[in-house]
């Protein structure tokens, strides 16, 4: 089996197991055999098949994108960035979901494009949350990523017939049918490969209580994580309070949904959020006590003027956190930057969150949430999922602190090579496994079809230029 040594690497972000944190190593070696890291540090005297000159490079662990929707979001580029309703506290989520619906061909191309964007920004593992569509598994397999396929199901769909009210079209039998289809899909995935499963009741407000309880029980029985969206909008918070007299997080705790294998998408509008003026202060403690994982996706919500308050406070309360991209751009390095900066703004405190803490969320935080302590770290015995950063990239220079240069300045421009399980999937900044140009062309065509269908789906019969005007007049 091939043994690869990255020799005399200028910088390595290595995992210090004793301290439970990442740390820098200088001018030393990283060695992997097949899909497993053998050695990180000096003094390796074993046989080597392939030598890579590590001078001018930084080796870092592959990033874990814990929450994203690759089959949808690229089709919304140029549409969703400033689309929102004042009546929905500036969110455009519900109107968009009811109106902008890509077809399966567009979904396949969108997923291809998004997977490539992730690889280009150093992602090696992703939780892909979607309704199953034709070709999903084939695209995931072709990407070379480790993909946790979260096959969605729900008891209701959102709809609108006024600009100010969110409504729910309930069809609980359909929700149970979708759950059974999701179970069949997940059971068909081979265990032990790059594809894995997540049980995915889609939103806390669109799933009936008995469906959520059944989903959690089945996930536990199968040893799978379970993911949902929760506390992602003021509209949802108020809806759940109207139904149950308590916050979404408190209701999830009451029905037994929370726990160490539960991924909670966003969890922004908890009881202490300043926009809510709610009377309790229990949600953070419930998240911490149950060991539930928050999948934090700061970039997309910041476009609505919304923000989790704050990343550092969640961590200090003991809440487990991973990072996700959610939407376009599927760029985890930008999410790291956004997470750190927004936390400091909301806390009005430079020191509430460090660069090291956002790196931890983007690596070991996500990996442990997926039940994979062998990912998200560079250490002997871990999987050889790693990223080589070009320190000669002008945006990285001067290289006093390469992680800061990467997060706050260079981002994906400095990513040179990416390996998943010891296999190179990005070389010299080019994705080897996917044709991103062809996918982009197909997404453009699919977006045009989607936009043409908008008047027939919009509650007011508006066209796309009325719903989502261009940023400048023609």
Does one domain contain both 75 and 156? Answer: yes
Q: Show which of 325, 348, 369 is a domain's final residue.
A: 369
* Residue 305 in domain: yes
CA atoms within 13 A on the CB side of 376: 26
* Residue 458 in domain: no
| pLDDT at residue 1, as a whole number | 82
Sheet holding 146-153, edge to edge: 63-68, 123-130, 146-153, 195-201, 226-230, 262-266, 293-296, 320-323
Does one domain contain both 286 and 414? Answer: no
Can you name the residues that pair with 159 across neighbouring β-strands? Answer: 167
Q: Model confidence over 123-178: pLDDT tens digits?
A: 999 999 999 999 999 999 999 999 999 999 999 999 999 999 999 999 999 999 99
Does one domain contain both 218 and 327? Answer: yes
Q: Show which of 329, 345, 369 is a domain's final residue.
A: 369
* Residue 34 in domain: yes
The b/e string for 22-59 (b: 16+ C-beta within 10 A; e otherwise) is beebeebbbbbbebebbbbeeebeeeeeeebebebbbb
Does one domain contain both 41 and 70? Answer: no
Does one domain contain both 75 and 92? Answer: yes
Does one domain contain both 213 and 276? Answer: yes
Q: Model confidence over 107-129: pLDDT tens digits?
A: 999 999 999 999 999 999 999 99
* Residue 152 in domain: yes
| pLDDT at residue 363, as a whole number | 98
| pLDDT at residue 398, as a whole number | 97
* Residue 457 in domain: no
* Residue 443 in domain: no
Contact predicate 62/386, CB 8 Å: yes
Phi-psi domain of 78 (left: phi exceeds 0; alpha: psi -120 through 50; beta: other) = left
Please state the rounded mean pLDDT for residues 35-63: 96
Please state the rounded mean pLDDT for residues 450-474: 97
| pLDDT at residue 266, as a whole number | 98
- Cα gap 451→454, rounded to integer Å: 5
Contact predicate 437/399, CB 8 Å: no
In this predicted structure, the answer to whether residue 347 has a pLDDT above a threshold of 90 is yes
Tokens read off for 10 = 């200028």
In this predicted structure, the answer to whether residue 256 has a pLDDT above a threshold of 90 is yes
* Residue 17 in domain: yes
Structural domain including 38 reads: 3-61+382-429
| pLDDT at residue 190, as a whole number | 84
Query: Domain total for the chain?
Result: 2
Does one domain contain both 110 and 69? Answer: yes
Does one domain contain both 330 and 234? Answer: yes
- Cα gap 268→225, rounded to integer Å: 21
| pLDDT at residue 387, as a whole number | 98
Please state the rounded mean pLDDT for residues 297-311: 96
CATH of the domain at 423: 2.30.40.10
Tokens read off for 55 = 């001078």
Contact predicate 161/459, CB 8 Å: yes
In this predicted structure, the answer to whether residue 452 has a pLDDT above a threshold of 90 is yes
| pLDDT at residue 404, as a whole number | 98
In this predicted structure, the answer to whether residue 191 has a pLDDT above a threshold of 90 is no
Does one domain contain both 280 and 390? Answer: no
In this predicted structure, the answer to whether residue 402 has a pLDDT above a threshold of 90 is yes
| pLDDT at residue 176, as a whole number | 98
Does one domain contain both 364 and 392? Answer: no
CA nearest to 352, candidates 338, 367, 366, 342: 342
Does one domain contain both 111 and 52? Answer: no
Helix (H) or strand (E) holding 51: strand 50-53
Q: What are the backbone dihedrals phi and psi of residue 232, each rounded to the nearest 5 degrees, phi first?
A: -100, -5
* Residue 192 in domain: yes
How are the residues of the chain apportioned to helix, strand and coil, as percentages rounded to the nearest 5?
A: 40, 25, 35
Q: Model confidence over 226-247: pLDDT tens digits?
A: 999 999 999 999 999 999 999 9
Q: What percent of the chain stands above pLDDT 90?
A: 99
In this predicted structure, the answer to whether residue 192 has a pLDDT above a threshold of 90 is no
* Residue 321: other Cβ atoms inside 10 A: 25
Contact predicate 182/207, CB 8 Å: no
CATH of the domain at 296: 3.20.20.140
Contact predicate 117/329, CB 8 Å: yes
DSSP 114-141: HHHHHHHTTEEEEEEEE---TTHHHHHH
Tokens read off for 195 = 């594809």
Please state the rounded mean pLDDT for residues 247-266: 98
Q: Is the pTM of this model over 0.85?
A: yes
- Cα gap 381→32, rounded to integer Å: 9
Confidence band (pLDDT; 50, 70, 90) for 43?
Answer: confident
Does one domain contain both 35 and 101? Answer: no
Average pLDDT, the chain: 97
């Amino acid at each position: 089996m091939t043994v690869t040594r990255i020799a005399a690497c200028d910088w390595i972000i290595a995992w210090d197991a004793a301290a439970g944190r990442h740390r820098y190593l200088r001018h030393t070696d990283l060695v992997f055999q097949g899909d497993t890291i053998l050695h990180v540090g000096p003094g390796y005297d074993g046989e080597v098949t392939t030598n890579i000159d590590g001078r001018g490079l930084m080796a870092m662990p592959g990033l874990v994108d814990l929450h994203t929707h690759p089959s949808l979001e690229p089709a919304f580029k140029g549409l969703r960035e400033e689309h929102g309703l004042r009546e929905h506290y500036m969110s455009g989520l519900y109107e968009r979901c009811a109106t902008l619906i890509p077809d399966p061909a567009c979904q396949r191309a969108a997923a291809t494009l998004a997977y490539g964007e992730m690889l280009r920004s150093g992602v090696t593992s992703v939780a892909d949350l979607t309704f199953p569509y034709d070709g999903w598994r084939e695209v995931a397999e072709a990407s070379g990523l480790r993909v946790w396929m979260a096959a969605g199901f729900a008891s209701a769909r959102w709809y609108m017939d006024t600009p100010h009210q969110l409504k729910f079209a309930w069809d609980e039998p359909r929700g149970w049918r979708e759950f059974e289809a999701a179970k069949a899909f997940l059971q068909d995935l081979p265990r032990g490969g790059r594809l894995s499963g997540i049980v995915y009741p889609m939103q806390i407000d669109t799933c009936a209580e008995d469906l959520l309880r059944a989903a959690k029980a089945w996930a536990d029985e199968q040893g799978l994580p379970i993911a949902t969206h929760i506390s992602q909008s003021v509209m949802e918070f108020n809806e759940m309070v109207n139904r149950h007299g308590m916050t979404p997080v408190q209701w999830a705790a009451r029905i037994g949904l929370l726990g160490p294998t539960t991924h909670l998408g966003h969890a922004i509008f908890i009881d202490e959020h300043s926009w809510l003026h709610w009377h309790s202060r229990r949600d953070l403690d419930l998240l911490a006590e149950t060991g539930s994982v928050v999948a934090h996706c700061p970039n997309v919500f910041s476009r609505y003027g919304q923000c989790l308050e704050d990343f550092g406070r969640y961590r200090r309360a003991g809440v487990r956190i991973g990072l996700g991209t959610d939407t376009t751009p599927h760029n985890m390095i930008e999410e790291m930057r956004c997470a750190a900066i927004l936390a400091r703004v909301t806390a009005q405190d430079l020191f509430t969150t460090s660069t090291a803490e956002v790196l931890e969320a983007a690596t070991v935080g996500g990996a442990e949430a997926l039940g994979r302590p062998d990912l998200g770290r560079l250490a002997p015995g871990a999987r050889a999922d790693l990223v080589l950063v070009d320190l000669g990239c002008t945006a990285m220079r001067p290289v006093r602190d390469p992680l800061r240069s990467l997060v706050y300045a260079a981002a994906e421009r400095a990513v040179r090579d990416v390996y998943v399980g010891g296999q190179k999937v990005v070389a010299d900044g080019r994705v080897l496994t996917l044709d991103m140009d062809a996918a982009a062309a197909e997404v453009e065509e699919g977006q045009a079809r989607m936009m043409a269908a908008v008047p027939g789906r919009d509650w007011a019969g508006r066209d796309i230029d009325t719903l989502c005007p261009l940023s400048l007049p023609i």
